[in-house]
Amino acid sequence: MARILAIDYGTRRCGIAVTDPLQIIATPLTTVDALQLRPFLKEYMASEAVERIIIGYPTQLDGKDTHATKPVRDIMRLLKKDFPQIPIEPVDEQYTSKMAAQALVQSGLPKKARQQKALLDSTAATILLQEYLTRMG
């Protein structure tokens, strides 16, 4: 089996998480600068089999777009061109950043470590992916 990759896309940074090859567990992979996302993914997928990409899709509680929805749609369009053989699936990302912040607090990390935005982004991607696995499961 190939991995599933999740992206918590932001206009500055993108958190990335992946499953194990058996698609059982989601783990944080890294956080990359938004401008480096596509080159990073091309390099990663040259060495790892990925069967699906999920990307956090931001909407308001009523389902309407937020200020962050258009950039996510734009990057999805580019990723579909870069990786036409890989399905790219938007998934609801409501509350993943809050859940990631809570998870970091509960992990016992010192406050200074929890304030690292990169750690928060990769944790949010991991939560997004683990919830996806649970739903598909």
The three state secondary structure string of the chain is CCEEEEEEECCCEEEEEEECCCCCCEEEEEEEEHHHHHHHHHHHHHHCCEEEEEEEECECCCCCECCCHHHHHHHHHHHHHHCCCCCEEEEECCCHHHHHHHHHHHCCCCHHHHCCHHHHHHHHHHHHHHHHHHHHC
Q: Which residues pair with 19 in a beta bridge?
A: 26
Q: Is the pLDDT reported for residue 64 higher than 50?
A: yes
Pairing of strands 13-19, 3-9: antiparallel
Residue linked to tokens 């809570």: 102
Residue 119 gets the label, from left (phi > 0), alpha (psi -120 to 50) or beta, of: alpha
Q: Is the pLDDT reported for residue 1 higher than 80?
A: yes
- Over the stretch 87-132, which tens digit does the pLDDT of each residue have? 999 998 766 666 655 655 565 555 565 456 656 678 889 989 998 9
- Give the number of other Cβ atoms within 10 Å of residue 50's Cβ: 17
Which pLDDT score is estimated for 13?
93
pLDDT band at 66 (very low <50, low <70, confident <90, very high): confident
Residue linked to tokens 């938007």: 90
> pLDDT exceeding 90 applies to what percent of the chain?
61
> pLDDT exceeding 70 applies to what percent of the chain?
80
